[in-house]
Amino acid sequence: MAEETAYIEFAVRAGVALLGGALIGLERERAQLAGKGGPKGASIPGLRSIGLVSLYGFLVSYASSYLQGSTGWVLMAVGSASIVLLVLIYSYARLVLARSGGVTTQLVLFTTFMIGVLSGFGLVLEAAGLSIVVGLLLASKDTVARLARSISYPELVAMMEVGALVVVIGPLVQALRPLIPVIDILQVYLFTVAVVGVVFTSYMAARVWGERGAAASIILGSLVNSEAVIAAIARAATAAKTASKTLVAAAATIVIAVMQIRSAVLAGYALFIAIGPPPAESLATLASVAGLAALAGLYASQKLGGVAPAVKPRSPLDWGLAARSAAAYLAITLIGKALLAVAEGYRAGVAVALAVAAIGGLVNATAAILGMASIAGETGPTPATAGMLVAIAAATLNKALYARAAGAPSWAARSVTLPALTLSLPPLAAALILILQP
């Protein structure tokens, strides 16, 4: 019975090594047939050759694992050296005799040998997964080339910056978290990552999606920074030769609707992270605000059509926006906790939460919402939700202020003010309902 089990294990390991190498070899053979293997006559190893290289790696590692002492290590070293020699001979024939450059095939031979080695040591799933990854990477040559041509250098730098923020700064923040009192730097860091992620994702969506009309560009822009989109609309209205109150009002309505939907979803998620599943009444009020905003946005998009100018993303990242948002979040959180500490009684605490939320919403709705979530443990979920709704209403009203600050003519400012006042009523009414609950 033990011998049968050992044989089955041997067969499975050998099969994974052989099939994994054969899969990679099949891709190489198809590349050769498609004329991607180099100049004519410069043959590259295919299914049989690369499959045998992987099987050879399996045999070397499987045999060495059963040998005692240094004998196993010697066999492993000899097997590895033989592959190195094989690759050197192949490289000489390809580079000198066939006068064909490139090192992809040499790397493929080394990789498939290691896939066989992993399978021989019993890492069957790892070997199978690596075979698929290598095959996909080789097969994606044309796609990768098109992607490289389409990405600009600033976009590539932005990707690296986002990666550094997550991979390098994240562990550092986690390590420093216990050493910094009063402020939870992990929450500030996560908030910053969220802002940067939304900006970058929205930019790339607009980049890939392209200009699909005014409504689409306004929606994508509003996911990042609704105030900046309002300012862009105001500038467009200033430059327009003819006044179109309907178009400006429709564009402003879409901006506000996207902001309210985004904020309502964020509020529900933030409450869940802060205190667990939110109460039904909190979710119901947030959902109703998002639903009414969606209806208003759909109606406005029909009015807008494709006439209004598209809002183009300016840069893949906006570190200034992230820094300002993080500073606002930190200030709202600290001020809210400080005022709650001196407030006496439930109603005083609710009043403090609403006041902080209203002021914070005028500055940054996202920061105000996450700030309310951070003090939900002290106020309770209902006052915190009411504060979030007040912040959404305040962020809605500030669109009229941004339009005026951006230099919009008086008729355009009035066209922004009307939808701002109208759409601020649902979140205010929902907040009032929550506060007046018995």
Read off the pLDDT of residues 398-408 as tens digits, 9 standing for 90 and up. 887 777 776 66
In angstroms, rounded to a whole number, what is the distance separating the alpha carbons of residues 166 and 94?
A: 42
Query: Residues 129, 134, 136, CA angle at the centre, nearest 5°?
Result: 95
Q: DSSP label at 276? A: S
Burial of 203 (0-12, 13-18, 19+ CB in 10 A): buried
pLDDT at position 34 is 65
> Which percentage of the chain shows pLDDT scores above 70?
75
Residue 424 CB neighbour total at 10 angstroms:
22
Q: What is the pLDDT of residue 291?
A: 94
Share of the chain above pLDDT 90, in %: 6
Q: Are 306 and 214 in contact (CB under 8 A)?
A: yes
Q: Is the pLDDT of residue 212 over 50?
A: no
| Cα 422 from Cα 126, distance rounded (Å) | 58
What integer pLDDT is reported at residue 40 of this predicted model? Answer: 46
pLDDT at 198: 66
The whole-number average pLDDT for the span 138-145 is: 73
Higher pLDDT, 375 or 124: 124
**Position 389: which residue type?**
L
For residue 349, pLDDT over 70 is answered with no
pLDDT band at 285 (very low <50, low <70, confident <90, very high): very high
Two structure tokens written together for 169: 């700064």
The pTM score is: 0.61
pLDDT tens per residue, range 164-184: 888 888 888 888 888 887 677
Domain chopping of the chain, boundaries: 2-147, 152-435
Please list, in sequence order, all residues whose beta carbon lies within 8 angstroms of the beta carbon of residue 124, skipping any fewer than 6 positions away.
12, 13, 16
What's the whole-number average pLDDT of the chain? 77
Contact 297/258 with Cβ under 8 angstroms? yes
Give yes or no for residue 41 having a pLDDT over 50: no
Mean local confidence (pLDDT), 135-160: 74
Q: What pLDDT, on the 0 to 100 scale, is given for residue 7?
A: 75
The residue ranking higher by pLDDT, 41 or 199, is 199
More confident position, 274 or 68: 274
The Cα 28–Cα 139 span in angstroms is: 9
Of 306 and 201, the one with more pLDDT: 201
Confidence of residue 429 (pLDDT cuts 50, 70, 90): very high
Instruction: Determine which of 217-221, 277-281, 331-335, 361-365 has the lowest per-residue pLDDT on average.
Output: 217-221
Of the listed ranges 107-121, 256-270, 300-314, the least confidently predicted one is 300-314
Taking residue 47's Cβ as centre, other Cβ atoms within 10 Å add up to 17
Across 12-16, 152-156, 231-235, the highest mean pLDDT is recorded for 12-16
- Count how many Cα atoms sit within 13 Å of the Cα of residue 297 in the half-sphere of its side chain: 21
Q: Please report the pLDDT score of residue 416 as a whole number.
A: 83
Choice among 93-102, 170-179, 285-294, 417-426 with the minimum mean pLDDT:
93-102
Task: Answer with the residue of higher pLDDT: 26 or 44.
Answer: 26
Report d(CA 423, CA 295) in Å as an integer. Answer: 11
The answer to whether 255 touches 399, Cβ cutoff 8 Å, is: yes
- Concatenating the DSSP letter of every residue in 177-241 gives GGGS-SS-HHHHHHHHHHHHHHHHHHHHHHHHH----HHHHHHHHHHH-HHHHHHHHHHHHHH-S
Residue scoring higher pLDDT (241 or 226): 226
